[in-house]
Amino acid sequence: MKFRPLHDRVVVKRLEGEEKTKGGIIIPDTAKEKPQEGQVVAVGPGSRDDAGKLVALDVKAGDRVLFGKWSGTEVKIDGEDLLIMKESDIMGIVG
């Protein structure tokens, strides 16, 4: 990928949601909610504090993360649907 996020931004690829419920009912595409779990593809260098010192991000490329339902901006890069969001929109790292 030829995209590098700036500051405290993170590029996330959504992970596919479940196609069946635990009881075995198949969920059609129109009824599925967008998953709130994804994998970090790229991270920015970090943000600057009041003193101008660079503060590195806690997440790194490859981390599985949970984020809010309405977090980020949807973009298409190299034919792939991705989200760009601030690190503060990420709720936590899974795993």
**What stretch of H or E contains 67?**
strand 64-67
Domain boundaries defined on the chain? 9-16+30-94
36-76 pLDDT tens trace: 899 999 999 999 989 989 999 999 999 999 998 888 999 99
Question: 17, 38, 26, 27: which is closest to 83 by C-alpha?
Answer: 38
CATH of domain 9-16+30-94: 2.30.33.40
Tell me what the mean pLDDT of segment 82-95 comes to.
92
- With a cut of 90, say whether residue 3 has pLDDT above it: no
Q: How far apart are CA 44 and CA 62, in angstroms?
A: 14
